[in-house]
Amino acid sequence: MDLPIGTVWLVLAIILITAIVTKIANARVTFDPVCTRPPPPVVNNIALIKLLPTLCTKGPEVTMTYLYNKFGSVFTVSILWKRITFLVGPEVSGPFFQGSESEVSQGNFNEFTVPMFGQENGFAVDSSTRMDEIRFYIDALKPSQLRSHVDPMLREVEDYFGKWGEVGVVDLKDEFNHILMLIASRCLLGKEVREKIFGEFYTLFTEIEAGMNFVSFVLPYIPIPVNRRRDRARVKLTEIVSEILRSRKICNRVEEDVLQKLMDSRYKDGRRTTEAAVAGMIIALIFAGKHTSAVISTWTGACLLTHEKFLDAVVNEQKEIMRTYEDMIDYNVLLEMETLHSCIKEAGRVNPISIGLVRQAQKNIIVRTKEGVEYDIPKRDTLVNLVMLTSKLPHIYKDPEVYDPDRFRSGRDEDKVGGKFSYGIFGGGRHACAGEAYAFMQIKIIWSHLLRNFELKLTSPFPKADWSKYALEPKGKVMVNYKRRHLASN
Ligand code: HEM
């Protein structure tokens, strides 16, 4: 439909006037006149326009680093009526990570997850119910619960890589996505899904995951085909989970998986979790843990296979462990794989999954920089904690661009010396990743198996990060040649 040019100008004028009025109104209500501390420095619009070519040619990390170097660890970007305040470094991150929901909330930035996870959990329910759910996750994934997942994970890994030939070429990214989905279906959902309907579950989950695209992010309910498929898949997956829950109840069957733990959880007011809420929570957990672990596993591979010193170190560590325990692996043996742990942790530091974490200031927030300057961040600002930049700060990490897992070993402990929130790959504070220990456990099981049973060689160039993805991942295929071997412990 063509609109007359006069109408177009009128609409544009209305939008502009609304924007200006809202901006003035916001400015009135947000700044606290009695506060003596200044608001953070604002990057003005001319500076922003000048930065556009850098953003387009060099990407967000370089652009944000430039702004950090110019304005310091707290700065605000004002786009029309929206103020976004960026935070870099542990010194200014305390209120962001530790503030209560009434000070710093998760806002409605995650609205797009509602049609993915359903109406009875996550961002569809009030914050107190959501805090209960977080407690369920933490309980279900705490170390005492994780011990029972080691054997099922080992079995999945042995079966999966047992199907590789004597020699071959694989795309690590693809392989890790596959094996981690199998592990998720076994340890999170349980044997009914893993053993009977894995194929159907995989297809449904992939359709829900596809709902995570730019259009659905902005307009989660728009009836485009990908959103319709997402909605149908969620309904079907909810039915499947409900059926499993009902059959367990009828047969009085109790399993060791996370699904069971969520089914047995109680809200603070004593209510039981509903079938739809459990279904939504389990989808959310797989969503939070599968892809992220696959990405970090792939970066670990790319880093190890291009750093001989550390590849030798992790292989020698496996030999050492095999001398003591032979082929036996349990939870405690995994804890002894400290070199492998550092190599995974460092792969995540050098190649973080996200540029930043987002919150909404519900009150004025005061932060103090490492230079001792205090700023008063106005209520209603969107806050973005640039964890990607924090993990590359030279006053915390020596030669931050270098892959050096030894920085986490005792004696150096750069992240601990740097202070709380120096390593933000798993977030921190009130919403710290509930699955960090589980993630390390599955990645260590996969990599210890690969190191013991295969010689690997990276044949594609070291991957770049793919900035078109919501969770950053290696761009393109990550091709590896493998040759079967049996690592001797002597
Ligand atoms: C290497 C893999 C992983 C990375 C890099 C990662 C990263 C993160 C980050 C950065 C957050 C905080 C988000 C925020 O503050 O807004 C988070 C939260 C969370 N993660 Fe992970 N995660 C990983 C694996 C997992 C796994 C395996 C699970 C579960 C099986 C999991 C479950 C969760 C949950 C439930 C939350 C929400 C906690 C809350 O809101 O309080 N994650 N994760």
Which atom of ligand 1 is found nearest the CA of 292?
A: 2
In which band, very low, low, confident or very high, does the pLDDT at 108 lie, cut at 50, 70 and 90? confident
The residue to mutate among 353, 433, 443, 469, having the most atoms of ligand 1 within 8 angstroms of its beta carbon, is 433
- The predicted structure's pLDDT at residue 34: 57
Architecture of domain 31-484: Orthogonal Bundle (1.10)
Residue 11: φ, ψ to 5°: -60, -45
| Region 300-316 average pLDDT | 98
- The predicted structure's pLDDT at residue 470: 78
- The predicted structure's pLDDT at residue 10: 41
| Region 174-194 average pLDDT | 95
CA neighbours within 13 Å on the CB side: how many for 424?
A: 29
Expressed in angstroms and rounded, the spacing between residue 285 Cα and the centre of ligand 1 is 8
Q: What is the mean pLDDT of the chain?
A: 91
> If we measure between CA atoms, which residue out of 16, 83, 81, 95 comes closest to residue 43?
83
Residue 100 pLDDT > 50: yes
Tokens found for residue 133 = 């759910």
Instruction: Tell me the C-alpha distance between 26 and 415, whole Å.
Output: 38
Residue with CA closest to ligand 1 atom 3: 292
Which atom of ligand 1 is found nearest the CA of 188?
A: 30
Expressed in angstroms and rounded, the spacing between residue 354 Cα and the centre of ligand 1 is 11
Residue with CA closest to ligand 1 atom 35: 434
Residue with CA closest to ligand 1 atom 24: 289
Specify which of 13-17, 162-166, 463-467 reaches the highest per-range mean pLDDT: 162-166
- The predicted structure's pLDDT at residue 107: 81
The residue to mutate among 87, 258, 298, 426, having the most atoms of ligand 1 within 8 angstroms of its beta carbon, is 426
| Region 167-192 average pLDDT | 96
Instruction: Tell me the C-alpha distance between 336 and 448, whole Å.
Output: 12
Q: What percent of the chain has pLDDT over 90?
A: 83
Expressed in angstroms and rounded, the spacing between residue 311 Cα and the centre of ligand 1 is 27
Residue 323 pLDDT > 90: yes
Residue with CA closest to ligand 1 atom 13: 427
Cα 210 to chain centroid distance, Å, stands at 17
Q: Is 56 annotated as a binding residue?
A: no
Tens of pLDDT, residues 206-244: 999 988 888 888 899 999 999 999 999 999 999 999 999
Give the ranges where 328-435 is alpha helix by DSSP (H): 331-336, 338-350, 387-390, 414-418
Expressed in angstroms and rounded, the spacing between residue 433 Cα and the centre of ligand 1 is 4
In which band, very low, low, confident or very high, does the pLDDT at 109 lie, cut at 50, 70 and 90? confident
Expressed in angstroms and rounded, the spacing between residue 456 Cα and the centre of ligand 1 is 29
Expressed in angstroms and rounded, the spacing between residue 138 Cα and the centre of ligand 1 is 11
> If we measure between CA atoms, which residue out of 389, 391, 350, 385 comes closest to residue 365?
385
Residue with CA closest to ligand 1 atom 27: 289
- Cβ-count burial 227-247 (b if 16+ within 10 Å, e if not): bebbbebbebbbebbeebbee
Which atom of ligand 1 is found nearest the CA of 387?
A: 10
Expressed in angstroms and rounded, the spacing between residue 425 Cα and the centre of ligand 1 is 9
Residue with CA closest to ligand 1 atom 9: 426
Expressed in angstroms and rounded, the spacing between residue 293 Cα and the centre of ligand 1 is 10
Expressed in angstroms and rounded, the spacing between residue 262 Cα and the centre of ligand 1 is 17
Instruction: Tell me the C-alpha distance between 424 and 419, whole Å.
Output: 11
- The predicted structure's pLDDT at residue 32: 52
> If we measure between CA atoms, which residue out of 341, 321, 340, 342 comes closest to residue 330?
321
In which band, very low, low, confident or very high, does the pLDDT at 19 lie, cut at 50, 70 and 90? very low
Residue with CA closest to ligand 1 atom 36: 433
Which atom of ligand 1 is found nearest the CA of 290?
A: 27
Which atom of ligand 1 is found nearest the CA of 296?
A: 1
Tens of pLDDT, residues 247-284: 999 999 999 999 999 999 999 999 999 999 999 999 99
- The predicted structure's pLDDT at residue 214: 82
- The predicted structure's pLDDT at residue 292: 96
Place of tokens 């279906």: 185
Tokens found for residue 32 = 């606290």
Tens of pLDDT, residues 124-141: 999 999 999 999 999 999
Tens of pLDDT, residues 346-396: 999 999 999 999 999 999 999 999 999 999 999 999 999 999 999 999 999
Which atom of ligand 1 is found nearest the CA of 137?
A: 35
pTM of the model: 0.91
- The predicted structure's pLDDT at residue 9: 42
Expressed in angstroms and rounded, the spacing between residue 5 Cα and the centre of ligand 1 is 49
Residue with CA closest to ligand 1 atom 25: 289
Residue with CA closest to ligand 1 atom 6: 426
Residue ranges lining ligand 1, Cβ < 6 Å = 134, 137, 141, 285, 288-289, 292-293, 296, 353, 357, 425-427, 431, 433-435, 438-439
